[in-house]
Structure 1
């Protein structure tokens, strides 16, 4: 199968984040085994979705990981020009949910696999495909925990998030949480008899937003836009009707942290503000939704030099979006971002990837194999 045929097959699996992924995992497993690769399926604790780890070449020895995720964001935007789960070609563009983020990269890796298997590799190349990356990198920590039993410590991990095939050395970290306030409902004519959860949450959010604005004072890292950590309230919901005291309210909040700052630590003042409501009779719940560290630029990174040689592009210092690369670095594995497509096309209607980008990506992976061949 060529890369476009593989991409069409992958797109046809509606592997939306947070849903079972057995069908796409089974297809990738069978394809890789048919190509002569060693495949390990790693079920996650959810029981209905799995990571995959694929090895081509000798299992012994330190090699490289080619990392991607099989999940995609939902495709509910009404502006789609065609079925988002059927690959559509127009000229040099291939449209469909996940073409850029990031099944195009997976298709390149899978298309290159038979050629890699035919090489006399002195060191292994591993494909590490995770689940639920779009929910805050929930799947890959389980894969990383199993890694010592699957291979020797890799020389590096290439995370194929869309970067126009320009290597990227750093990104911000992220943490997100859901806040819930439970008060006491009743008739709105007697607010003195109730506890309005919306009003209470409004106070928490007001203080959180003010605190978020103070993050602009630093620490600063001029490699990023903006050059400081940030906070956003993305979702708020509560109450039943205007004449009912709101008995419950939830809010989802995220922070994005520059390297050197713990994302979870940035949420602590918000958490403290939420729990202070208990003194006024409210019940509160704090639920961490996701957390992953920043990717800090590694000084003298051999991996960055390898990717510069393979792509012909000097690495970009930093991007503001997050990836699994920070978790690889945290696990002691040098990591870099490099993949086809543009992040600006992701998570929107008529997502697409260019055939030339796929060709460049496949060339990069084949070049990596050539470096490791005897």
Structure 2
């Protein structure tokens, strides 16, 4: 499928921060427009003005479910962000487990986790998680939940054996991200979730960076909960979703009027949800058309150009194979990433996660991978996307090299 007209101007800097956020696809803007004007009704209303919005939300729910292979659109819960979805998954599951313990109910299904009856349940994450997951774990730790953070190797990957060793009778949930937002490292989720499932423990993965870039199927991954985010898929910011497998025991964090199966109160952001659904449909079409192969070719061409222009100074961070096709994280020997980007106004990229913007410190992700401070401070995260061209790749390499 041919991409739509780029919303980026030829006079703009080269945009290489698609992992931070994506431009909104004009086709997505067109799809959401009527729900900002003519179809303004509340989807929960029983009168005619609520009909079209309710139908649109249902359609978008099915589109998101289809993109990730969910068995039913009822398993998709819309949220206001990926951060909210992560907190709902992690804190919601732990809250449900504690409620079951207080009621003396034990575990109603395997999905509630083998530790559902524990007074102080146990949560497993890993060191290079998204800040939203780390924050959710911190909140729970302050509330008495025991948290284990698994280490990663030099490529940023979790060893499944370390998860097997970390599981305990009171473990309720494992949350390990699918693909890292800085290095693009793709975790062996299927192997990890199998270990958790065999122990009767729920598994959540934050797939914000991977959905739409590589094929994602909740059954193939073996997960019970999965986070998706609109603004990583060419939809506007402010809308996300949590996949919750049927039968999973989870409690609401924002109870209210009963929207979203009672798990997320508040009138739905209809226009944003419609945009998210259309973006999911377009992403599925792109994957079928081979967008991953195109991204991989552009990414590898960018790395090759940098290596040619800066011989012996370009060092890849993260795995060479098990990573997202559009993500290149490299450290430039003898240079600080922040200084390179400050001196290259024709390049819009980052030194790491946008969630750590404004900090001038070594990336916690690279540090956890064993990189020393000099290498971590020399890192650049260059992430490509739907409208990246070969000319953009050439310009990126030349402008970065020119600063070094």
**TM superposition score normalised by structure 1:** 0.24
Greater share of helix residues, 1 or 2?
Answer: 2
Structure whose alpha-carbon radius of gyration is higher: 1
**TM superposition score normalised by structure 2:** 0.23
Greater share of strand residues, 1 or 2?
Answer: 1
